[in-house]
Structure 1
Protein backbone atom coordinates (compact mmCIF):
# COMPACT_ATOMS: atom_id res chain seq x y z
CA UNK A 1 0.00 0.00 0.00
CA UNK A 2 2.87 2.34 0.84
CA UNK A 3 4.44 1.72 -2.57
CA UNK A 4 1.13 2.34 -4.29
CA UNK A 5 0.63 5.59 -2.37
CA UNK A 6 4.15 6.71 -3.24
CA UNK A 7 3.63 5.90 -6.91
CA UNK A 8 0.36 7.82 -6.94
CA UNK A 9 2.01 10.84 -5.32
CA UNK A 10 4.81 10.73 -7.88
CA UNK A 11 2.25 10.62 -10.68
CA UNK A 12 0.37 13.62 -9.24
CA UNK A 13 3.61 15.56 -8.80
CA UNK A 14 4.70 14.77 -12.35
CA UNK A 15 1.31 15.81 -13.72
CA UNK A 16 1.44 19.13 -11.87
CA UNK A 17 4.97 19.68 -13.16
CA UNK A 18 3.91 18.86 -16.71
CA UNK A 19 1.03 21.33 -16.54
CA UNK A 20 3.27 24.02 -15.02
CA UNK A 21 5.88 23.73 -17.74
CA UNK A 22 3.16 23.53 -20.38
CA UNK A 23 2.09 27.01 -19.31
CA UNK A 24 5.70 28.21 -19.33
CA UNK A 25 6.22 26.81 -22.83
CA UNK A 26 3.04 28.53 -23.96
CA UNK A 27 4.34 31.87 -22.68
CA UNK A 28 7.94 31.29 -23.87
CA UNK A 29 7.76 28.92 -26.87
CA UNK A 30 11.48 29.23 -27.67
CA UNK A 31 12.80 28.50 -24.17
CA UNK A 32 14.59 25.17 -24.49
CA UNK A 33 14.90 24.72 -20.72
CA UNK A 34 11.12 24.79 -20.27
CA UNK A 35 10.68 22.29 -23.09
CA UNK A 36 13.22 19.90 -21.59
CA UNK A 37 11.70 20.07 -18.12
CA UNK A 38 8.27 19.44 -19.64
CA UNK A 39 9.61 16.40 -21.45
CA UNK A 40 11.20 15.17 -18.21
CA UNK A 41 7.84 15.46 -16.45
CA UNK A 42 6.11 13.63 -19.32
CA UNK A 43 8.58 10.74 -18.95
CA UNK A 44 7.26 10.20 -15.42
CA UNK A 45 3.67 9.78 -16.64
CA UNK A 46 2.15 6.48 -17.70
CA UNK A 47 0.52 7.81 -20.87
CA UNK A 48 2.37 8.15 -24.16
CA UNK A 49 0.43 11.12 -25.52
CA UNK A 50 1.80 13.81 -23.16
CA UNK A 51 5.35 12.88 -24.15
CA UNK A 52 4.55 12.84 -27.86
CA UNK A 53 2.75 16.17 -27.53
CA UNK A 54 5.68 17.72 -25.67
CA UNK A 55 8.14 16.50 -28.29
CA UNK A 56 6.00 17.97 -31.08
CA UNK A 57 5.91 21.33 -29.30
CA UNK A 58 9.68 21.19 -28.84
CA UNK A 59 10.17 20.56 -32.57
CA UNK A 60 8.01 23.58 -33.32
CA UNK A 61 9.26 26.01 -30.67
CA UNK A 62 12.99 25.22 -30.73
CA UNK A 63 13.51 24.17 -34.36
CA UNK A 64 16.94 25.84 -34.44
CA UNK A 65 18.21 23.53 -31.68
CA UNK A 66 17.01 20.32 -33.34
CA UNK A 67 20.27 19.47 -35.16
CA UNK A 68 22.23 19.73 -31.91
CA UNK A 69 20.07 18.18 -29.21
CA UNK A 70 17.03 16.34 -30.49
CA UNK A 71 18.84 13.07 -31.20
CA UNK A 72 19.99 13.05 -27.57
CA UNK A 73 16.39 13.59 -26.46
CA UNK A 74 15.22 10.73 -28.67
CA UNK A 75 17.76 8.50 -26.95
CA UNK A 76 16.34 9.53 -23.56
CA UNK A 77 12.77 8.67 -24.50
CA UNK A 78 13.60 5.45 -26.33
CA UNK A 79 10.96 2.80 -25.70
CA UNK A 80 8.42 5.23 -24.26
CA UNK A 81 6.50 5.87 -27.50
CA UNK A 82 5.11 3.45 -30.01
CA UNK A 83 7.98 2.18 -32.21
CA UNK A 84 6.46 3.66 -35.36
CA UNK A 85 6.07 7.05 -33.68
CA UNK A 86 9.67 7.07 -32.46
CA UNK A 87 10.83 6.14 -35.95
CA UNK A 88 8.71 8.89 -37.48
CA UNK A 89 10.26 11.48 -35.16
CA UNK A 90 13.72 10.19 -35.99
CA UNK A 91 13.14 10.27 -39.74
CA UNK A 92 11.63 13.74 -39.53
CA UNK A 93 14.60 15.24 -37.67
CA UNK A 94 17.08 13.58 -40.02
CA UNK A 95 15.54 15.64 -42.84
CA UNK A 96 16.20 18.86 -40.88
CA UNK A 97 12.65 19.80 -41.75
CA UNK A 98 10.37 22.28 -40.00
CA UNK A 99 7.23 21.15 -38.24
CA UNK A 100 4.00 22.90 -39.20
CA UNK A 101 1.55 24.33 -36.69
CA UNK A 102 -0.85 21.60 -37.84
CA UNK A 103 1.11 18.38 -37.47
CA UNK A 104 0.58 14.63 -37.43
CA UNK A 105 2.92 14.55 -34.42
CA UNK A 106 0.65 16.72 -32.26
CA UNK A 107 -1.62 15.21 -29.62
CA UNK A 108 -4.32 16.63 -27.38
CA UNK A 109 -1.53 17.51 -24.94
CA UNK A 110 0.28 19.75 -27.42
CA UNK A 111 -0.02 23.49 -26.85
CA UNK A 112 2.01 25.03 -29.70
CA UNK A 113 0.95 22.70 -32.50
CA UNK A 114 -2.37 21.08 -33.28
CA UNK A 115 -3.29 17.70 -34.79
CA UNK A 116 -3.94 17.78 -38.51
CA UNK A 117 -7.59 16.78 -38.16
CA UNK A 118 -10.51 18.30 -40.03
CA UNK A 119 -13.30 16.55 -38.17
CA UNK A 120 -15.01 19.07 -35.87
CA UNK A 121 -16.03 16.27 -33.53
CA UNK A 122 -12.34 15.59 -32.98
CA UNK A 123 -11.42 19.17 -32.24
CA UNK A 124 -9.37 19.38 -29.11
CA UNK A 125 -10.65 20.72 -25.83
CA UNK A 126 -8.88 21.43 -22.59
CA UNK A 127 -10.22 21.09 -19.07
CA UNK A 128 -11.67 24.04 -17.16
CA UNK A 129 -8.74 23.86 -14.73
CA UNK A 130 -6.27 24.20 -17.60
CA UNK A 131 -8.26 27.09 -19.05
CA UNK A 132 -8.18 28.93 -15.72
CA UNK A 133 -4.43 28.34 -15.40
CA UNK A 134 -3.85 29.67 -18.91
CA UNK A 135 -6.01 32.72 -18.18
CA UNK A 136 -4.15 33.47 -14.95
CA UNK A 137 -0.75 33.25 -16.67
CA UNK A 138 -1.82 35.35 -19.64
CA UNK A 139 -3.30 38.13 -17.52
CA UNK A 140 -0.19 38.20 -15.32
CA UNK A 141 2.15 38.30 -18.33
CA UNK A 142 0.14 41.01 -20.10
CA UNK A 143 -0.14 43.23 -17.04
CA UNK A 144 3.60 42.91 -16.44
CA UNK A 145 4.34 43.80 -20.07
CA UNK A 146 1.97 46.76 -19.80
CA UNK A 147 3.73 47.95 -16.66
CA UNK A 148 7.04 47.69 -18.55
CA UNK A 149 5.45 49.56 -21.49
CA UNK A 150 6.61 46.78 -23.81
CA UNK A 151 4.16 46.87 -26.71
CA UNK A 152 6.10 44.26 -28.71
CA UNK A 153 5.80 41.66 -25.95
CA UNK A 154 2.14 42.53 -25.43
CA UNK A 155 1.35 41.92 -29.10
CA UNK A 156 3.29 38.65 -29.15
CA UNK A 157 1.56 37.30 -26.03
CA UNK A 158 -1.84 38.33 -27.38
CA UNK A 159 -1.23 36.69 -30.77
CA UNK A 160 -0.09 33.43 -29.16
CA UNK A 161 -3.10 33.52 -26.87
CA UNK A 162 -5.48 33.99 -29.81
CA UNK A 163 -3.85 31.06 -31.61
CA UNK A 164 -4.27 28.90 -28.51
CA UNK A 165 -7.92 29.86 -28.01
CA UNK A 166 -8.90 29.14 -31.62
CA UNK A 167 -6.91 25.91 -32.01
CA UNK A 168 -8.22 24.54 -28.69
CA UNK A 169 -11.71 26.05 -28.87
CA UNK A 170 -10.85 27.53 -25.48
CA UNK A 171 -13.74 29.93 -25.01
CA UNK A 172 -13.40 29.79 -21.23
CA UNK A 173 -9.82 31.09 -21.16
CA UNK A 174 -10.71 33.81 -23.67
CA UNK A 175 -13.72 34.91 -21.62
CA UNK A 176 -11.77 34.93 -18.36
CA UNK A 177 -8.93 36.98 -19.82
CA UNK A 178 -11.35 39.38 -21.55
CA UNK A 179 -13.26 39.95 -18.31
CA UNK A 180 -10.19 40.47 -16.12
CA UNK A 181 -8.40 42.74 -18.58
CA UNK A 182 -11.61 44.69 -19.17
CA UNK A 183 -11.87 45.44 -15.47
CA UNK A 184 -8.35 46.92 -15.58
CA UNK A 185 -9.18 49.22 -18.49
CA UNK A 186 -7.44 47.18 -21.18
CA UNK A 187 -7.81 48.48 -24.73
CA UNK A 188 -9.07 45.63 -26.93
CA UNK A 189 -8.06 46.11 -30.55
CA UNK A 190 -9.53 44.51 -33.67
CA UNK A 191 -7.59 41.27 -33.14
CA UNK A 192 -9.59 40.60 -29.98
CA UNK A 193 -12.84 41.21 -31.83
CA UNK A 194 -11.72 38.95 -34.67
CA UNK A 195 -10.95 36.14 -32.23
CA UNK A 196 -14.38 36.53 -30.65
CA UNK A 197 -16.00 36.47 -34.10
CA UNK A 198 -14.19 33.23 -34.95
CA UNK A 199 -15.75 31.61 -31.89
CA UNK A 200 -19.18 32.74 -33.05
CA UNK A 201 -18.59 31.48 -36.59
CA UNK A 202 -17.49 28.10 -35.24
CA UNK A 203 -20.61 27.87 -33.07
CA UNK A 204 -22.87 28.69 -36.03
CA UNK A 205 -21.02 26.27 -38.30
CA UNK A 206 -21.44 23.50 -35.76
CA UNK A 207 -25.15 24.33 -35.55
CA UNK A 208 -25.21 24.53 -31.75
CA UNK A 209 -24.58 26.82 -28.83
CA UNK A 210 -21.50 26.11 -26.74
Structure 2
Protein backbone atom coordinates (compact mmCIF):
# COMPACT_ATOMS: atom_id res chain seq x y z
CA UNK A 1 0.00 0.00 0.00
CA UNK A 2 2.77 2.57 0.68
CA UNK A 3 3.98 2.29 -2.91
CA UNK A 4 0.46 2.94 -4.25
CA UNK A 5 0.17 6.01 -2.00
CA UNK A 6 3.55 7.24 -3.22
CA UNK A 7 2.46 6.86 -6.86
CA UNK A 8 -0.87 8.59 -6.16
CA UNK A 9 0.95 11.53 -4.56
CA UNK A 10 3.34 11.57 -7.53
CA UNK A 11 0.42 12.05 -9.93
CA UNK A 12 -0.84 14.90 -7.75
CA UNK A 13 2.61 16.52 -7.77
CA UNK A 14 2.68 16.27 -11.57
CA UNK A 15 -0.72 17.96 -11.78
CA UNK A 16 0.19 20.66 -9.20
CA UNK A 17 3.99 20.99 -9.24
CA UNK A 18 4.11 24.17 -7.14
CA UNK A 19 1.93 22.88 -4.28
CA UNK A 20 4.24 22.36 -1.29
CA UNK A 21 1.53 20.47 0.63
CA UNK A 22 1.31 17.82 -2.10
CA UNK A 23 5.09 17.52 -2.17
CA UNK A 24 5.23 17.09 1.61
CA UNK A 25 2.51 14.41 1.46
CA UNK A 26 4.52 12.60 -1.22
CA UNK A 27 7.67 12.88 0.89
CA UNK A 28 5.80 11.40 3.86
CA UNK A 29 4.67 8.52 1.63
CA UNK A 30 8.28 8.02 0.45
CA UNK A 31 9.38 7.71 4.06
CA UNK A 32 7.08 4.69 4.35
CA UNK A 33 8.99 2.91 1.56
CA UNK A 34 12.26 1.04 2.11
CA UNK A 35 15.55 2.57 1.02
CA UNK A 36 16.76 6.09 0.43
CA UNK A 37 16.03 6.48 -3.27
CA UNK A 38 12.26 7.22 -3.11
CA UNK A 39 12.91 9.81 -0.40
CA UNK A 40 15.69 11.44 -2.42
CA UNK A 41 13.48 11.48 -5.53
CA UNK A 42 10.55 13.09 -3.71
CA UNK A 43 12.82 15.65 -2.08
CA UNK A 44 14.48 16.60 -5.37
CA UNK A 45 11.02 17.07 -6.91
CA UNK A 46 10.03 19.35 -4.03
CA UNK A 47 13.16 21.45 -4.55
CA UNK A 48 12.50 21.69 -8.31
CA UNK A 49 8.73 22.14 -8.14
CA UNK A 50 8.31 24.50 -5.21
CA UNK A 51 10.30 27.42 -6.57
CA UNK A 52 7.88 29.88 -4.98
CA UNK A 53 8.06 28.25 -1.55
CA UNK A 54 10.21 29.70 1.19
CA UNK A 55 13.55 28.23 2.18
CA UNK A 56 11.83 27.19 5.42
CA UNK A 57 9.63 24.73 3.48
CA UNK A 58 12.70 23.19 1.82
CA UNK A 59 14.55 23.16 5.16
CA UNK A 60 11.58 21.47 6.87
CA UNK A 61 11.32 18.85 4.11
CA UNK A 62 15.04 18.17 4.34
CA UNK A 63 14.74 17.73 8.11
CA UNK A 64 11.97 15.15 7.54
CA UNK A 65 14.18 13.20 5.12
CA UNK A 66 17.65 13.74 6.61
CA UNK A 67 17.90 10.44 8.49
CA UNK A 68 17.21 8.47 5.30
CA UNK A 69 19.75 10.24 3.09
CA UNK A 70 23.41 9.40 2.71
CA UNK A 71 25.57 12.20 4.20
CA UNK A 72 26.92 13.47 0.83
CA UNK A 73 23.38 13.62 -0.58
CA UNK A 74 22.10 15.40 2.52
CA UNK A 75 24.91 17.98 2.25
CA UNK A 76 24.11 18.55 -1.44
CA UNK A 77 20.47 19.27 -0.55
CA UNK A 78 21.61 21.55 2.30
CA UNK A 79 23.57 23.62 -0.24
CA UNK A 80 20.41 24.04 -2.34
CA UNK A 81 18.02 25.05 0.45
CA UNK A 82 18.57 28.77 -0.08
CA UNK A 83 18.55 28.58 -3.89
CA UNK A 84 14.92 28.88 -5.00
CA UNK A 85 15.51 27.90 -8.66
CA UNK A 86 17.48 24.66 -8.89
CA UNK A 87 18.03 23.08 -12.30
CA UNK A 88 15.43 20.53 -13.40
CA UNK A 89 18.28 18.26 -14.43
CA UNK A 90 20.11 17.30 -11.26
CA UNK A 91 22.49 14.73 -9.84
CA UNK A 92 20.06 14.56 -6.91
CA UNK A 93 17.16 13.33 -9.04
CA UNK A 94 16.47 9.60 -9.01
CA UNK A 95 14.36 7.23 -11.07
CA UNK A 96 11.60 7.93 -8.51
CA UNK A 97 11.55 11.65 -9.40
CA UNK A 98 8.62 12.91 -11.48
CA UNK A 99 9.64 16.56 -12.01
CA UNK A 100 13.42 16.53 -11.72
CA UNK A 101 15.46 14.39 -14.08
CA UNK A 102 18.89 12.85 -13.52
CA UNK A 103 21.68 14.86 -15.11
CA UNK A 104 24.29 13.39 -17.41
CA UNK A 105 26.73 13.54 -14.48
CA UNK A 106 24.86 10.69 -12.78
CA UNK A 107 26.58 7.32 -13.09
CA UNK A 108 24.82 4.82 -15.34
CA UNK A 109 24.18 2.53 -12.35
CA UNK A 110 22.39 5.28 -10.43
CA UNK A 111 19.84 5.79 -13.19
CA UNK A 112 19.06 2.08 -13.50
CA UNK A 113 19.25 0.96 -9.88
CA UNK A 114 19.76 2.46 -6.46
CA UNK A 115 22.52 1.73 -3.99
CA UNK A 116 19.85 -0.14 -1.99
CA UNK A 117 19.24 -2.35 -5.05
CA UNK A 118 22.99 -2.86 -5.49
CA UNK A 119 23.39 -4.02 -1.89
CA UNK A 120 20.48 -6.45 -2.22
CA UNK A 121 21.79 -7.79 -5.53
CA UNK A 122 25.30 -8.20 -4.09
CA UNK A 123 23.94 -10.41 -1.32
CA UNK A 124 22.07 -12.50 -3.88
CA UNK A 125 25.15 -12.76 -6.12
CA UNK A 126 27.39 -13.92 -3.27
CA UNK A 127 24.74 -16.41 -2.15
CA UNK A 128 24.54 -17.79 -5.71
CA UNK A 129 28.28 -18.54 -5.65
CA UNK A 130 27.96 -20.27 -2.29
CA UNK A 131 25.10 -22.42 -3.61
CA UNK A 132 26.86 -23.08 -6.90
CA UNK A 133 23.85 -21.65 -8.76
CA UNK A 134 25.36 -20.83 -12.16
CA UNK A 135 22.13 -19.42 -13.60
CA UNK A 136 21.73 -16.93 -10.73
CA UNK A 137 25.43 -16.00 -11.01
CA UNK A 138 25.04 -15.28 -14.73
CA UNK A 139 21.96 -13.15 -14.03
CA UNK A 140 23.91 -11.19 -11.41
CA UNK A 141 26.96 -10.72 -13.62
CA UNK A 142 24.74 -9.75 -16.56
CA UNK A 143 23.10 -7.10 -14.39
CA UNK A 144 26.51 -5.75 -13.34
CA UNK A 145 27.62 -5.43 -16.98
CA UNK A 146 24.31 -4.06 -18.29
CA UNK A 147 23.95 -1.42 -15.62
CA UNK A 148 27.61 -0.77 -14.91
CA UNK A 149 26.83 -1.77 -11.34
CA UNK A 150 30.36 -1.77 -9.99
CA UNK A 151 28.98 -1.27 -6.47
CA UNK A 152 27.04 -4.56 -6.50
CA UNK A 153 29.98 -6.43 -8.00
CA UNK A 154 32.45 -4.99 -5.49
CA UNK A 155 30.19 -5.75 -2.52
CA UNK A 156 29.61 -9.34 -3.66
CA UNK A 157 33.29 -9.85 -4.37
CA UNK A 158 34.23 -8.50 -0.94
CA UNK A 159 31.67 -10.77 0.77
CA UNK A 160 33.12 -13.79 -1.03
CA UNK A 161 36.69 -12.80 -0.12
CA UNK A 162 35.74 -12.46 3.55
CA UNK A 163 34.34 -15.98 3.51
CA UNK A 164 37.42 -17.32 1.76
CA UNK A 165 35.41 -18.27 -1.32
CA UNK A 166 37.49 -18.50 -4.50
CA UNK A 167 36.31 -16.14 -7.22
CA UNK A 168 35.00 -18.06 -10.24
CA UNK A 169 36.82 -17.44 -13.54
CA UNK A 170 33.82 -15.71 -15.12
CA UNK A 171 33.83 -13.24 -12.24
CA UNK A 172 37.46 -12.34 -12.98
CA UNK A 173 36.54 -11.58 -16.61
CA UNK A 174 33.58 -9.43 -15.54
CA UNK A 175 35.81 -7.63 -13.04
CA UNK A 176 38.26 -6.75 -15.82
CA UNK A 177 35.43 -5.52 -18.06
CA UNK A 178 33.96 -3.36 -15.30
CA UNK A 179 37.36 -1.87 -14.49
CA UNK A 180 37.92 -1.10 -18.16
CA UNK A 181 34.47 0.48 -18.41
CA UNK A 182 33.43 -1.97 -21.14
CA UNK A 183 29.76 -2.40 -20.47
CA UNK A 184 27.13 -4.15 -22.54
Which residue matches 1:109?
96
What SS does the aligned partner of 2:92 have?
Answer: coil
Whole-Å Cα distance in 2 between the matches of residues 123 and 74 of structure 1? 21
Q: Of 73, 76, 79, which aligns to 2:64?
A: 76
1:27 to 15, 30, 43: 15
For residues 26 and 111 of structure 1, the distance between their equivalents in structure 2, rounded to whole angstroms, comes to 7
Provide the C-alpha distance between the structure 1 equivalents of 2:75 and 2:110, rounded to a whole number of angstroms: 26
Q: Provide the C-alpha distance between the structure 1 equivalents of 2:69 and 2:94, rounded to a whole number of angstroms.
A: 13
**CA, structure 1 residues 44+16, in 2 after alignment: closer, same or farther (shift >3 Å)?**
same
Q: Distance in 1 between matches of 2:110 and 2:59?
A: 31
TM-score (norm 2): 0.55
CA contact (8 A) 1:35 1:54 kept: yes
Identify unmatched segments of 5+ residues in structure 2. 113-184
Local SS of the residue matching 1:79: helix
- Asked whether 1:57 is paired with 2:60, we answer no
TM norm structure 1? 0.48
The Cα shift of 1:91 comes to 1.4
Aligned residues: 111
Cα drift, residue 65 of structure 1: 1.0
The alignment's C-alpha RMSD in Å is 2.2
Per-residue deviation at 1:44?
0.9
Structure 1 unaligned segments of length 5 or more: list them: 1-12, 126-210
